[in-house]
Amino acid sequence: MSAKVEKILERLQTTNTLDDLQSLIEHIRDTYDTEHVVYHSVSGSGQQYGALTYAPEWVDYYLEQNYTRLDPVVLGAIKQFNPMDWKRLDWNTPTKRNFLGEAISAGLGNQGYSVPIRGPNGQFALFSVNMDMNDDRWAKFTNERASDFLLLSHYVHERANRITGETDSFTMRDLSPREHDALAFLGMGEARSRIAEKMKISEHTLRVYIDSARFKLGAANTTHAVALAVSRGVVVL
Domain range for 221: 177-231
Same domain, 107 and 214: no
Q: What is the pLDDT of residues 111-133, one digit of tens each?
A: 999 998 876 566 788 999 999 99
* Number of Cβ within a 10 Å radius of residue 31: 16
- For the cut 70, the answer to whether the pLDDT of residue 9 exceeds it is yes
- For the cut 90, the answer to whether the pLDDT of residue 44 exceeds it is no
Classify the C-alpha dihedral 13-172-150-71 as positive or negative.
negative
Distance CA 233, CA 223 (A): 16
> Is 60 buried (19+), middle (13-18) or exposed (0-12) by CB count in 10 A?
exposed
In this prediction, residues 231-237 reach a mean pLDDT of 72
- pTM reported for the whole predicted model: 0.76
Maximum mean pLDDT: which of 21-35, 81-95, 153-167: 21-35
Flag whether 236 is in a domain: no
pLDDT at position 1 is 66
pLDDT at position 29 is 97
Same domain, 157 and 193: no
Flag whether 182 is in a domain: yes
- For the cut 90, the answer to whether the pLDDT of residue 67 exceeds it is yes
Same domain, 145 and 54: yes
